[in-house]
Structures are given as C-alpha cells and as structure tokens.
Structure 1
Amino acid sequence: NAVQRRQDHLLRWSLEKLNFHNWSFDQGSAYLGCFIDNAARDLPKVVNAGVKANSHYCIKLCKRAGYKYAGLQYASYCTCGNSYGSLGRVSNKQCKMTCKGDRREKCGGRWRNSIYSTGLKTRKVSTPGLKYLGCFADKATRDLRREAPRGHMSVPKCYRFCRKHKYKFFGVQYGNHCFCGNHYGRFGIRPNTECRMQCSGDKTTYCGGVWRNKIFTTGLLAKAK
C-alpha cells in the first residue's frame, strides 16, 4: 500500500545517506561545522562545482589538490584550504542550502562554508624553536637578505637551511622561495590571507605569496656566519 511504499522509500533514503557518510569517514574525512566566509576567503581555492556539488565530490577534489580541508558554499561551490575558521564559526542552521549535486545534503549558505576535513595525512617533522610570526610584505631590495636555492620548497626545508646558516628568522615566499635574515618587517605586516600559496614541496602547507613572506623564527639567537 501507499504507506508501506512510503516507509520503504524513507528506509532506502536513510540507508543511502548512512552509507555515503560512512564512506566519507572511512576515508578519514569528518564534518567540522559551519563557518563564516567573505571576499578574502577563509579557504582560498574556490571551484564552481555546479550540479556536481556535494560533500563526496568536494572532499575528493580538495584532497587530490593537496588540501586538508574542504568547504561547501552557496549550494554549488567547493572551497579548499589548509586552515579554516579565521572568520569565526556559526550555527549549523546558517549552512542550510541544499547541494545541487545531492538534495539530501546541505552545502553551506551565502558566505557560509560547511567544512570537512579531507583526511589528508601530513608527516610531522622536528622543528625546535620554530614559531610563526606573520605575513609580511617584501620588495626587490628584500626584507630578508639571504636566499636559499629554489626548488620543492617547504617550511621545514627553509627552516633547516636558515638554521644551518645561523639566522634568527626565515621566510617562505611565492610557493618556491626561501629567505633568511636577522631582522624582518621593514615593509610592513599584511593579512594572513595574502600568504596562502601552496608550497611547491608540500602542498598541505602555505609558502607566502606574491611579494609576501610567511615569516618564522628558527629558534636561534646567534648571528649568521
């Protein structure tokens, strides 16, 4: 009868939804909450997924691109990044737009991201004394004067080079550059959103931006030799 058919339909829908989420969690992903976004972007990579937009698609997209977090926004957009929450968290009720790729799911809202971890694993590297100081402007005359050889750059790689050469500070820039120095900041500090180019040697982390140094301490106090 009609009631039985309705119950069967609801059961199949529930099982499909459960199986979908189990697939996601088996891959190491998890829902993290509803978060605010704006034009500067909490998660910097934005893709209009259109009718494909759902959590499965966006998580897979961001993970393949080397990002640790995936967001769904305004029913049809995927956003990817390696950090999230810079603009604050809000109630899940503000992430209630139906996904264009799966009407059973919610894909954020207007300037609201439904954020998931992608399950991407990162290898921990020992970096004693390392501390992030901020995103700073650079110019052709260079804020940090010593440059390391370029190629497959990462924060730990730049840290090791500058620490080996006895510098107190180091900065990564434009995804592939590493600079060392004992002073920094003469061109001013900038928002962290301007230091979000993926490192060429580790796409799970950021290595500055265009004329932007992401600067850290090496933990050393000695002068460079």
Structure 2
Amino acid sequence: MQFFHLLVLLEVGHVAVADQNHVTLTLNGGKDVPIRGFLLSENTACDNAKMDDTRIMNKLNSIENRIEQLDKLGGKMDGLKNNLDSSAKRFTALETSINEVKKAVTDLQFSSVPGTGYIGCYTDCGSRMLNAKYIKNIRDLTLAKCKSICKGYKYLGLQYAQECWCGNKMDTVRNHRAPDTECKMPCSGDKNRMCGGGCRNSVYYV
C-alpha cells in the first residue's frame, strides 16, 4: 500500500489530479484540511517495508544460529583441549614409569656379583684411574678373572671389554663418574656383564 495526501481546500470547488498518487479536492472553505488515505498497488512502500523487516529478521535469526553454532564449537574445542591435556599427563606418567623401569634394569645389569661391590662407571682417558697393575687383550675376560688378577689390591677396573686394571686408590680428580650406560661393552668372556667401554672403567671393589 502506498501513502497519499488528499488535501481539501474549503474555498473554491475544484478537483485536480496532480499524478496517480496525489489528488487535490478544492471546496468552499476558509482553511486547508489534510485528509490522509492509501492507494493499493502491487509494489507499495508498506509492502516493501514489510519485506525489509522480514529480511532483517531472517538475517538476525541467521546470525543467532551462527552464534549458537560457534558456542557449540567452542564447547567442543574446550573438551578436545581437556582431552589433550589429560592425554599429555598420562603420557608423562607413562614416560616416568618407563624411565624408572630402565633405571631398575640398568641397576640389575650393573649389579655386583656376591662378594664384590660395584662402584660405578668412570672416565679413564690420559691419566689412568687405576695404574698399579693392568693386563690388556684378555680374550676371556670376566669379573672373576680380573678379581683374581687384582688380588691384593683394593679396586679393579674392567675396560674396553678385554682390559683389567688394578689399584689401591682411585684418581677421581682427573677421572669422573660417568653414566652407567656409557660402560656398555660386554666382557669378552661374559656377554651378560659390561666391561667398561672406550675410555670407560667399570670399577669394583676387589
């Protein structure tokens, strides 16, 4: 529907049509009396306004739906983050347990035989840690054999899979404790025991 003005002039009786939307009716009278009315048409301003309102409401509903979807997605992302955090904590706990098992295995691997105490893995390059007596290139080296070689000494060192070193004191100023895993060469006569490594002594009490 389209708005139009019907203007009544109460002065001289006259009717004039300005265009299809405006009609002036002049009557005898002393003042203008505005008369409002509506004309029907297929494409009117009111219909357009209603259509605009509908489009705006549809847009608002679409925005609200999008916000709801984003809220749901945010909730899912929070849940996923919590799951990842929980998984990371479980992984850390598992890693800690594995490291503890590895340490226990290492301790067993490097444990001493009855009557002989394992002291540790030490560096032994340049200045020898135990230099009172030594024998190299022993093809069947075992802890028991090195103990026999070092009888009468306080310490023995198994090195490079086939060397036996003896001494009464350990030079720990120039030679330091190393991780047990660095003494990783099996003895030439006992594959189940580690006999030091390159520049590494597996040191025991005799």
Per the normalisation by structure 1, the TM-score is: 0.41
Normalized per residue, which structure has more helix? 2
Compare CA radii of gyration and give the structure with the larger one: 2
Which one has more relative contact order, counting CA pairs under 8 Å at least 6 apart? 1
